[in-house]
C-alpha cells in the first residue's frame, strides 16, 4: 500500500492518455458485461426451474411441429404420469412488434402444473370459466399497466381466426406472481384458453404444440419420458420427452452456441484492448526510463520496479474495467425493463464480476509484463546516461 | 583517519561493438571517513565511471572496491541495491526528481524501502527538507521549484536515510552561480556539521574549492592529489 501513491501518480502523469485508455477499457468491459449477461442467461436456461418433476414432450423432428391431441389420454395413462396438460405457442403481437412477450394457448389445467406461479383460487376459477379469459404475469401486467377486467388485443402472426382476421381479444381474468426473484422473467408471459384458440383458429385444429406432464416420482422421470416416447414410436409424430430443465437448455441451443459467439466477440475485443493498452504501457515506461533508473539507484530492487509497473498496468485495467462492469449492470437493468423477455439477460452479479476481475488482472499482467521487464532489466548507468 | 572508501587495482572496460574501451586503468584510491573529495578531470577521463563504481551503480572489470569495510564489487545485484539504500545518497546534475511527486514525496522515496511508518517517513522527510531550507516548499512539485531548489530537494532525498556516503555527479552543472554556491555550501555543511563523506565529480574549479581534497583523473588514471585551502 505504501507504493500506491507512486502507482497512482504514474497513471496521472499523462492525464489525457490515461483517460482515453480508461475509456477504451471501460468500453471493452461494458461490452463484456452485457454479452456475458446474455451468455449466462442462455447457459443457465432451465437450471433454476422449480419443477424438476415436469416433463416436456415435443415433436422429435422439430419443436415447431405440432402433435395430435389424441396423445393426451395415452400420456395420461402412462405409468408414473400424475397429471398432463398441453399448450401451443401463439406468437401474438401487442400493439407493436417491438412489444415482444411470450403468449401461449394453454389447457385449463396447465397452471395446476406450475404451483410456483401464485394465482388466487378465484382468478384460477375465472380462467377456467371464461372462454376468452387470459392470465398474465405480474411483471408483464405492470409493464403495460394492465388490470383485471382489461381487454387485451393481440395481433396474430401465425394463427388467424377462421374469418381471416388476425385480431384476437382476451379478457384479463388473472395476474400471477412468481415468488423466486431469480425467476421473475417467468412473469413475462400471457396465457389464454386453448379451447377458445382451437375453436377459433383457421388451421391446425386438434393439434397441440407440446405436452407437459408431472411425474409422480421424480426419480422415475427418465423412465417415464422413455415410456411416453414409446407411445408414438414409428408413427408420423414421434416425440421427444425430456425434463423441463433439459428442454429449456435445448430450446436456447436453437439460437446457436451463444457461449462460442460471445467468446469470439470478446476475444476480438480483448485482443484489441491488449494491443492498445500494451502500447500505452510500453510508451509510459519508455518515457520514464530515467525515473526507474533513479528508483534503482536509491535502492529499489529489480523486483520492486517490475511490481510497480505491473501494479500500474493492472490498476489501469481494473479501474476502467470496474467502471465498465458497473455501467453494464445499470444497462442490463434498464434493458431488462425496456425489452422484457425478448433477450434473456442475467443481472451483472458476482459470477460476472468474478470473471471480469479475473480477466482484468490477466490482461493487466499481460500488457504490463513486457514494459515491466524492460524497467526491471535496465542498467542504471546506461539509463542515467540516456543510452 | 580510517578509510571509508578503498579502491584497489580497479579497471573498468566497456565494450562498444567489437571495441574494448578501458575507462579506468588499475586505479588505487583511499578516501577517509568524513572527507569531502572533488573529482576533476577532462570529459572521458573516467570520473563518472569511478563515481558509479564507488556508489555501487556499476561493478569493476578488475580490482576491488571496499566501502565501510564491505567488498561491494562482490555483492549480487539485489544485495548491491540494498547496500545502496542503506549506505549511499546520490545527487545528480539534472536533479532526477520524479516530476509527478511533491518535494516531500520525492524525499520520502528512499524511506519507502525501510520499515518506517508513514508518519515517521513524513517526519524524516520534513527534517531533511528543513535541513536544506525547503520545509515551506514540501508540497510543491519539482516543476514549481527553481533549479537550485530542485537540487536542494535532491540533496534532501540523498540524506534522508542518513547514509554514510554522498556521491554527487556534477551537482552544480545545471545551476547559475548563486544557486551553485548555495548547493555547495549546503554540501560543505553536511560534510562539516553532519560528518557526511562526500565524493563530488565536477568540472568547475570554483566548485572544487568547497571540497577538502581534489583528485584529478586523466585517461582513467589518477594524475595528482590536491589538497586545497578551505574557502
The confidence score (pLDDT) of residue A381 equals: 84
- Domain at B3-227, CATH class: alpha beta
Higher pLDDT, A99 or A138: A138
The confidence score (pLDDT) of residue B3 equals: 86
Query: What is the rounded distance in angstroms from the CA atom of residue A363 to the CA atom of residue A324?
Result: 15
Higher pLDDT, B44 or A75: A75
Q: Where are the domains of chain B?
A: 3-227
Q: How many CB pairs under 8 A join A and B?
A: 61
Q: Residue A246's closest CA among A49, A40, A10?
A: A49
Query: What is the rounded distance in angstroms from the CA atom of residue A198 to the CA atom of residue A204?
Result: 8
Give the relative orientation of helices A302-339 and B77-87 as an angle to the nearest 10 degrees. 100
A251-297: pLDDT as tens digits: 666 666 777 888 888 889 899 989 988 998 898 888 888 889 999 99
pLDDT band of residue A62 (cuts 50, 70, 90) is: confident
SS3 state of residue A191: strand
How many CB atoms are closer than 10 A to CB A200? 18
Burial track A298-316 (b if 16+ CB lie within 10 A, e otherwise) = bbbbbebbbbbbbbbbbbb
Q: From the CA of A361, how many Å to the nearest CA of chain B?
A: 25
Nearest residue of chain B to residue A12 (CA atoms) = B100
A78-135: pLDDT as tens digits: 999 999 999 999 999 998 888 888 999 999 999 999 988 999 999 999 999 999 999 9
User: Contact, A41 vs A346, CB < 8 A?
Assistant: yes
Count the residues in chain B: 231
Q: Which of A9, A302, A381 sits opposite B57 (nearest CB)?
A: A381
Chain B residues near any Cβ of chain A (below 8 Å): 52, 55, 57-58, 77-78, 81-82, 84-86, 90, 92, 96, 98-101, 105, 109-110, 112-113, 118, 157
The confidence score (pLDDT) of residue B6 equals: 94
Q: Which of B77, B96, B105 sits opposite A294 (nearest CB)?
A: B96
Would you say the C-alpha torsion B60, B64, B65, B68 has a positive or negative sign?
positive
The confidence score (pLDDT) of residue A244 equals: 85
Which of B12, B16, B53, B81 would best serve as a mutation to test chain A binding (most A beta carbons within 10 A)? B81
Q: From the CA of A377, how many Å to the nearest CA of chain B?
A: 11
Are the Cβ atoms of A291 and B112 closer than 8 angstroms? no
User: Contact, A342 vs A102, CB < 8 A?
Assistant: no
Q: Residue A374's closest CA among A273, A302, A321?
A: A302
Q: From the CA of A293, how many Å to the nearest CA of chain B?
A: 9
The one-digit pLDDT tens for each residue of chain B (231 residues) are 578 999 999 999 988 888 888 899 999 999 999 999 999 998 888 999 999 999 999 999 999 999 999 999 999 999 999 999 999 999 988 888 999 999 999 999 999 999 999 999 999 999 999 999 999 999 999 999 999 999 999 999 999 999 999 999 999 888 888 889 999 999 999 999 999 999 999 988 999 999 998 999 988 888 865 544 444
The confidence score (pLDDT) of residue B202 equals: 92
Residue A290: list chain B partners with CB under 8 A.
96
A333-384: pLDDT as tens digits: 888 766 655 566 778 888 899 999 999 999 999 999 999 998 888 888 888 8
Query: What is the rounded distance in angstroms from the CA atom of residue B131 to the CA atom of residue B133?
Result: 5
User: Contact, B52 vs A381, CB < 8 A?
Assistant: yes
C-alpha cell at A246: 433439459
The confidence score (pLDDT) of residue A383 equals: 86
The confidence score (pLDDT) of residue A259 equals: 77
Residue A302: list chain B partners with CB under 8 A.
77-78, 81
User: With 80 as the cut, is the pLDDT of residue A28 above it?
Assistant: yes
State the Cα angle at A26 between A24 and A29, rounded to 5°.
Answer: 110
Count the residues in chain A: 387
Q: Residue A24's closest CA among A365, A263, A265, A273?
A: A273
Query: What is the rounded distance in angstroms from the CA atom of residue B68 to the CA atom of residue A258?
Result: 68
pLDDT band of residue A387 (cuts 50, 70, 90) is: confident
- Cα B193 from chain centroid? 17
- Residues 5-24 of chain A whose Cβ lies under 8 A from any Cβ of chain B: 5-6, 9-10, 12-13
If phi over 0 gives left and psi between -120 and 50 gives alpha, with beta otherwise, what is residue A233? beta
Element (H, E) at A127: helix A121-129
Query: What is the rounded distance in angstroms from the CA atom of residue B91 to the CA atom of residue B102?
Result: 18
The confidence score (pLDDT) of residue A262 equals: 82
The conformation of residue A185, written as its DSSP 8-state character, comes to G
Whether the CB of A4 is below 8 Å from some CB of chain B: the reply is no
Are the Cβ atoms of B85 and A381 closer than 8 angstroms? no
User: Contact, A172 vs A151, CB < 8 A?
Assistant: yes
Whole-angstrom CA distances from A132 to A12, A126, A162, B125, B163 are 66, 10, 16, 84, 93
Query: What is the rounded distance in angstroms from the CA atom of residue A159 to the CA atom of residue A363?
Result: 52
Residue A301: list chain B partners with CB under 8 A.
78, 81-82
State the Cα angle at A316 between A312 and A319, rounded to 5°.
Answer: 130
Q: Where are the domains of chain A?
A: 4-45+257-384, 66-236
Nearest residue of chain A to residue B85 (CA atoms) = A299
The confidence score (pLDDT) of residue A1 equals: 75
Residues in CB range of B181: below 8 A, 6 or more apart: none
The confidence score (pLDDT) of residue B108 equals: 94
Kindly provide the ipTM of the predicted complex, given to two decimals: 0.89
The confidence score (pLDDT) of residue A333 equals: 84
| Mean pLDDT for all residues in chain A | 88
The confidence score (pLDDT) of residue B224 equals: 64
Are the Cβ atoms of B81 and A301 closer than 8 angstroms? yes
The confidence score (pLDDT) of residue A29 equals: 93
User: With 60 as the cut, is the pLDDT of residue A214 above it?
Assistant: yes
Q: Is the pTM of this model over 0.80?
A: no
How many CB atoms are closer than 10 A to CB B71? 11
Q: Which of B101, B118, B157 sits opposite A9 (nearest CB)?
A: B101
Whether the CB of A294 is below 8 Å from some CB of chain B: the reply is yes
Are the Cβ atoms of B110 and A298 closer than 8 angstroms? yes
The confidence score (pLDDT) of residue B231 equals: 44
Amino acid at each position: 500500500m505504501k507504493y500506491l501513491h507512486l502507482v497512482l501518480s504514474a497513471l496521472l502523469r499523462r492525464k489525457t492518455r490515461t483517460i482515453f485508455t480508461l475509456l477504451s477499457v471501460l468500453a471493452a468491459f461494458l461490452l463484456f458485461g452485457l454479452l456475458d449477461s446474455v451468455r449466462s442467461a442462455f447457459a443457465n436456461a432451465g437450471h433454476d426451474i422449480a419443477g424438476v418433476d415436469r416433463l416436456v414432450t415435443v415433436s422429435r423432428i422439430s419443436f415447431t411441429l405440432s402433435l395430435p391431441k389424441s396423445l393426451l389420454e395415452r400420456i395420461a395413462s402412462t405409468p408414473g404420469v400424475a397429471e398432463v396438460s398441453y399448450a401451443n405457442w401463439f406468437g401474438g403481437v401487442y400493439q407493436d412488434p417491438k412489444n415482444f412477450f411470450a403468449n401461449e394457448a394453454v389447457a385449463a389445467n396447465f397452471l395446476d402444473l406450475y404451483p410456483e406461479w401464485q394465482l388466487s383460487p378465484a382468478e384460477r376459477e375465472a380462467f377456467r370459466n371464461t372462454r376468452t379469459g387470459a392470465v398474465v404475469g405480474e411483471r408483464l401486467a405492470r409493464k403495460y399497466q394492465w388490470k383485471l377486467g382489461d381487454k387485451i388485443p393481440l395481433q396474430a402472426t401465425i394463427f388467424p381466426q377462421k374469418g381471416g382476421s388476425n385480431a384476437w381479444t382476451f379478457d384479463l381474468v388473472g395476474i400471477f406472481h412468481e415468488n423466486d426473484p431469480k425467476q421473475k422473467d417467468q412473469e413475462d408471459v400471457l396465457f389464454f384458453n386453448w379451447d377458445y384458440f382451437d375453436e377459433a383458429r383457421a388451421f391446425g385444429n386438434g393439434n397441440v404444440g407440446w405436452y407437459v406432464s408431472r411425474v409422480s416420482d421424480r426419480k422415475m422421470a427418465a423412465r417415464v419420458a422413455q415410456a411416453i416416447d414409446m407411445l408414438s414410436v414409428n408413427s408420423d409424430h414421434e416425440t421427444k420427452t425430456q425434463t423441463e430443465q433439459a428442454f429449456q437448455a435445448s430450446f436456447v441451443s436453437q439460437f446457436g452456441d451463444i457461449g462460442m459467439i460471445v467468446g469470439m466477440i470478446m476475444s476480438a475485443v480483448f485482443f484489441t484492448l491488449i494491443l492498445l493498452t500494451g502500447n500505452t504501457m510500453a510508451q509510459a515506461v519508455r518515457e520514464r526510463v530515467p525515473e526507474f533508473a533513479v528508483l534503482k539507484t536509491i535502492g529499489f530492487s529489480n523486483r520492486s520496479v517490475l511490481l510497480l509497473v505491473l501494479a500500474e498496468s493492472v490498476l489501469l485495467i481494473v479501474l476502467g474495467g470496474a467502471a465498465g462492469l458497473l455501467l453494464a449492470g445499470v444497462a442490463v437493468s434498464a434493458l431488462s425493463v425496456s425489452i422484457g423477455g425478448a433477450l434473456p439477460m442475467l443481472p451483472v452479479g458476482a459470477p460476472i464480476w468474478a470473471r471480469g476481475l479475473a480477466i482484468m488482472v490477466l490482461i493487466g499482467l499481460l500488457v504490463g509484463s513486457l514494459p515491466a521487464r524492460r524497467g526491471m532489466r535496465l542498467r542504471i548507468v546506461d539509463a542515467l546516461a540516456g543510452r | 583517519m580510517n578509510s571509508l572508501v578503498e579502491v584497489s587495482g580497479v579497471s573498468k572496460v566497456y565494450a562498444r561493438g567489437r571495441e574494448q574501451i578501458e575507462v579506468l586503468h588499475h586505479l588505487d584510491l583511499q578516501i577517509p571517513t568524513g572527507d569531502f573529495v572533488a573529482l576533476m578531470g577532462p570529459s572521458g577521463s573516467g570520473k563518472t565511471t569511478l563515481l558509479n563504481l564507488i556508489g555501487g551503480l556499476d561493478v569493476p572489470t578488475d580490482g576491488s572496491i571496499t566501502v565501510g569495510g564491505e567488498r561491494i564489487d562482490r555483492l549480487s545485484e539485489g544485495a548491491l541495491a540494498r547496500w545502496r539504500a542503506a549506505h549511499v545518497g546520490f545527487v545528480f546534475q539534472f536533479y532526477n526528481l520524479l516530476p509527478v511527486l511533491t518535494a516531500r514525496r520525492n524525499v520520502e522515496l528512499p524511506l519507502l524501502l525501510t520499515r518506517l511508518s508513514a508518519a515517521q517517513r513524513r517526519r524524516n522527510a520534513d527534517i531533511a527538507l528543513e535541513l536544506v531550507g525547503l520545509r515551506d516548499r514540501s508540497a510543491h512539485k519539482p516543476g514549481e521549484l527553481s533549479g537550485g531548489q530542485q537540487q536542494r530537494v535532491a540533496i534532501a532525498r540523498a540524506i534522508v536515510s542518513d547514509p554514510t556516503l554522498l556521491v554527487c555527479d556534477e551537482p552544480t552543472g545545471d545551476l547559475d552561480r548563486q544557486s551553485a554556491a548555495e548547493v555547495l555550501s549546503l554540501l560543505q555543511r553536511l560534510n562539516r556539521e553532519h560528518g557526511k563523506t562526500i565524493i563530488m565529480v565536477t568540472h568547475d574549479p570554483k566548485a572544487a574549492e568547497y571540497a577538502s581534497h581534489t583528485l584529478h583523473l586523466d585517461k582513467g588514471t589518477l594524475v595528482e592529489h590536491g589538497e586545497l585551502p578551505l574557502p
